[in-house]
Chain A
């Protein structure tokens, strides 16, 4: 019997955890119990960065998360601003030849990509709604320390602030920062809606919960076990995509019940401003990659 440790940073009740529980059940069923997946949710074994490190080294077998520098910084290419319109657009891209190519990254560092579960689109959450780029000018916005997000905020004229996750709530409360830019489910779970009551839906950046496995560990499985892992992961990705829009509708309803004003942003004037971000990262990841991803993303 092989036991695979799977770690992620989402809550036990989250859609991510439900997905990996289904995955674990299917793997166990397909291998008749010869492969067991043991799940560690809630960053019990560390945050997304340490999970990626752990899978690379082999202390964790399977991981999920958006921290990609250890795997391959080029995976950030899918998080370029306004690259995708909506979830359907993303999923079609991921299934395309170009999307499959991106999901081969990380092999030379010992990672095997099992798929990508949407971490989702990031939105603006502020005390007054964001409608035009001018509304962001000079606004102090807390962002995670991600180079693409930092570059995007600079282009949009906002002031990006780094504040540790645990202190963001009080920072919003005392107006140390005026805005955050979370994904909707994280906005609800972290309860930032209590202190930043406007959610401006812009889909400005899409991020993945990359789903990866230690390559050596995968190689040690028997061929039929390997097939079971891959098949179960593919089935789980499909299931997750099916549940996604329902989850977002529910989350939005819960937020509105709590008094959050949800508005939709016309993104056209924003898109015009972020072109330099593409130029910057073309230099870092290769212009070929950025161009071909951009083309494939707008092709569907």
Chain B
């Protein structure tokens, strides 16, 4: 009953256009009011604050701001000019650039949401400028932003290692091949979509002198991800702190190298970064009381127990386990979903014949798909807010990427060497 009120009222409000954050909040209030959960008045504010207290996501506003500095300081335009030469000759080339950029940022931040913000603030306006539908640009960004949680800083993989007592070093190495594989699959998907819709292509004759000049001009801008990644590998900064260094670097290049950054615009860029962060983090914050009710009502646990009791074939079990993760991923953020489900589902998956690394990566990827699946997909919220478009128009363009992700997860399950090959090679 409580759960029916919770999910029913959420869905109704969502459909008529109430902002997602308030849908979650009001649904929780209705559920506790009519569901007789006997909770104190303080509960709602306490849980919302608990959800907002997530300093590891501070990379979101910092990357958004850095992206704005890159746009206004002339970094983006130079990178794009070069990308036009190199990738622009392929139909949908900028979509491929988008995926590649996400792969680089994925190595930096370890948070899919922060990556989506970083790539989105740079790529969406540029792609729109060059004739791509804005909603498509947003969709590619939302999908490829998922690469952040399979990258070497992945907070999700580390949490998985802790929860299931799996070697974290091994997991991070194991994720390299699947991460690249998924990136490649997303690139192919983008290419197919681009061909079908006839997206723009650069047909101008190749001019090597121009390419050389533009490459040189773009060099300081291109160094930014390299330096930021270097600050992490070199032990200077954590993933969150690196996003602050990204701000400093793009500021310095915009002011002293390209001399294009108008100082007056910094204020409005910071205000915009704060507003976008508010939208995303408020959804995360209000998802916390929402998830609290689901947890206390034992919804995920009961569902997991149900699968355990089915005793079907190994393949069927794996499919059921992943489906359950998927369904829960609709409603819970990755962290809470893993905390509740991993201890129950991982042993089932291992029994069904999956290897530990394989399970970790397949679980992470399955939950990752939730990030760009409505109704509660954090990556979608980021791109909608950055691009100022509606969820529906993005969702339409996301369909091919959902299919691509399902293919990827199936491949991860079918070919254990994709996950276990590299760790075996390195002996971790």
**A residues within 8 Å of B by Cβ?**
5, 11-12, 40, 42-46, 50, 53-54, 57-59, 163-164, 166-167, 169-171, 173-176, 189-191, 194-195
Contacts and interface: CB of A to CB of B under 8 A. Distances in A.
Q: Which of A42, A43, A170 has the most CB of B within 10 A?
A: A170
B-side interface size class: 35 or more
Interface of B: 39-40, 42-43, 46-47, 50, 55-56, 110, 152-153, 155, 158-159, 161-163, 165, 167-169, 232-240, 292, 295-296, 336, 339-340, 343
A45 B292 contact: yes
19 contacts: A40-B296, A42-B340, A44-B339, A57-B46, A58-B39, A59-B40, A163-B238, A164-B240, A166-B159, A169-B168, A170-B152, A170-B232, A171-B238, A174-B233, A176-B236, A176-B238, A191-B161, A191-B165, A194-B169
B46 A170 contact: no
B56 A167 contact: yes
A45 B293 CA distance: 10
A57 B292 contact: no
A54 B46 contact: yes
B239 A170 contact: yes
A176 B239 CA distance: 10
Nearest to A140: B235
B421 to A, nearest CB: 20
B42 A189 contact: no
A176 B240 contact: no
Given A11-B343, A166-B155, 5 more contacts: A45-B296, A53-B42, A57-B43, A58-B42, A194-B168
Contacts of B168: 169, 191, 194
Nearest to B338: A42
Contact of A59 (B39, B110, B336): B39
Contacts of A175: 235
Q: Which of A5, A43, A194 has the most CB of B within 10 A?
A: A194
Contacts of B232: 170, 174, 176
B167 A191 contact: yes
Contacts of A5: 296
Contacts of B40: 57-59
B296 A164 contact: no
A173 B168 CA distance: 11
Determine the main DSSP class of B at the interface with A: helix
Contacts, number: 90
Contacts of A169: 158, 161, 168
A69 to B, nearest CB: 14
B235 A170 contact: no
Given A12-B343, A166-B56, A191 B162 contact: yes
- Nearest 3 A/B pairs, CB to CB: A175-B235, A57-B42, A59-B43
Contact of B340 (A44, A50, A171, A194): A44
Q: Which of B39, B47, B162, B163 has the most CB of A within 10 A?
A: B162
B239 A45 contact: no
Given A59-B40, A164-B56, A45 B158 contact: no
Contacts of A59: 39-40, 42-43, 46-47
A189 B159 CA distance: 11
A3 to B, nearest CB: 10
Given A58-B40, A189-B162, A191-B168, A167 B296 contact: no
A135 B162 CA distance: 29
A167 B239 contact: yes
Contacts of B169: 173, 194-195
Contacts of A167: 56, 110, 153, 155, 238-240
Nearest to B54: A164
B158 A166 contact: yes
Q: Which of A59, A163, A169, A191 has the most CB of B within 10 A?
A: A59
A171 B343 CA distance: 26
A170 B295 contact: no
A176 B234 CA distance: 8
Nearest to A174: B235
A209 to B, nearest CB: 18
Contact of B167 (A11, A58, A170, A194): A194
Contacts of B159: 166
A152 B127 CA distance: 54
A164 B110 CA distance: 13
Contacts of B239: 167, 170
Contact of A53 (B46, B153, B340): B46
